[in-house]
Structure 1
Amino acid sequence: MAGRWTLTSTDPGTSVHFRLRIDGMDLGDWNSCDGLGCEIEVEQHQEGGNNGFVWQLPSRVRYTNVTLSRPLMPDTAKVAQLLTTLPQGVTRGTAQIAALRPDRALLVQWGLNDVVLVRWTGPSFDPTRSEVATESIELAYHGFLEVG
C-alpha cells in the first residue's frame, strides 16, 4: 500500500530516552544524554635526524563528564533525595546509563566507574516565558565497567 510504513526492530528511532541509576538508586528516565565518551591524550615526540616523521605516543585516557537532562517530573524527587546526602561527604560510586527505545526495550547500557555527582542544575522560572521547566545532572567518572 502506497504511503504506508512500519518500524522494524533494527530501526534506531528518534525517541530514545535514558535511564540513570547511581549506586543502585533509580533516578528515572532522562530525555538527553550528552558528553559520554573518552579520549586518549597523545604526546608528540620528534626523533632527531628524521624530519619526515613524528611519533604519536599515547599517554593517558581522559573521560569526559556526562550530562543528562529532562523536564521536571515526579522522579525529580529522587534526585533531590540524592542531593540531601552530599553534605555528609562525596563518595565515588558506580552508575548505569541505559538507552531505551520508546517501548522501554534496552538498546545499550554503559556502566561507569568511580562516579561523582559534580553538578545539578534546577529549573529557571520566568513568568514572561512559556517554557518547560527542566533539570540536568552532571557526572564525572573514571572508566567504564561494562558496555552491553
Structure 2
Amino acid sequence: MTVEQVPAFGVRFRVQIDDVELGLFTSCEGLGVQVVMEQRQEGGNNGLVWQLPSRVTYPTIKLTRPLTRDTERVARWIGGLATGVRRCTGQITAMSTDGTEVAKWSLLDVVPVRWTGPSIAPNTNAVLTETVEIAHHGFLAAN
C-alpha cells in the first residue's frame, strides 16, 4: 500500500471560505451528492420502467469542533450576513494529525445556514463544542 492509499485516522478538517480561514474542525458530516431519479412508464412496454436523472442535490455540511479562539472567525463571517448574503467559494481539506493533506473538496456558492454554540451548564465537565452548518451548490474541480 502506498502512502496515498493509507486510510486517514485522526483526521481534522481545515475550512476556508474565500480568503477567510475558519480553522480546524474535528467532525465533517454531509459531504455528498444525490442524483434524483424520475420514473417514466412507456405505454405498451410492461417489461421495464425508465429511470431518468432529473436533478442533482447536495446536503448541507455540518462541521463540529471543540470551542477555540477560532470561534471568533466564524462569528465574524456569519455576522457579515447582516449586510446581505453573499455566496462564497469554500474549501474543506482533510488532514492527518501530522498535518498531511489527505483529501480536498472545493465548494461552489457556500452560504452559512446555522451556527450552534456550546450549551453551558453549571457542574458540567463536558468539552464545549460549536457546530457550523453550510449549504452549497456543488463541487468545483480541485486546484
- The two structures have a TM-score, normalised by structure 2, of 0.93
Residue 113 (structure 2) aligns with: 118
Residue 35 (structure 1) aligns with: 30
1:52 is paired with a residue whose SS is coil
Residue 91 (structure 1) aligns with: 86
Residue ranges of structure 1 left out of the alignment (5+ in a row)? 1-7
Amino acid in structure 1 at the alignment position of 2:20: M
Amino acid in structure 2 at the alignment position of 1:32: S
The alignment yields a C-alpha RMSD, in angstroms, of 1.4
Residue ranges of structure 2 left out of the alignment (5+ in a row)? none
Aligned-partner Cα distance in 1 for 2:95–2:45:
51
Amino acid in structure 2 at the alignment position of 1:104: G
Aligned-partner Cα distance in 1 for 2:78–2:137:
21
Aligned-partner Cα distance in 1 for 2:6–2:34:
29
Counterparts of 1:1-148 in structure 2, within 5 Å, are: 9=3, 10-147=5-142
Task: String of CA shifts for 1:69-126, please: whole Å, max 9, x gaps.
Answer: 0000111111111122111111101100000011111111000001101111111111
Paired positions, count: 141
Amino acid in structure 1 at the alignment position of 2:98: D
Q: Please say if residues 8 and 102 of structure 2, whose CA atoms lie closer than 8 Å, have aligned partners that are also in contact.
A: no
- The two structures have a TM-score, normalised by structure 1, of 0.90
Aligned-partner Cα distance in 2 for 1:39–1:147:
20
Aligned-partner Cα distance in 1 for 2:78–2:39:
42
Aligned-partner Cα distance in 2 for 1:40–1:22:
26
Task: String of CA shifts for 1:30-81, please: whole Å, max 9, x gaps.
Answer: 0000001110000000111111200000001101110100000111111111
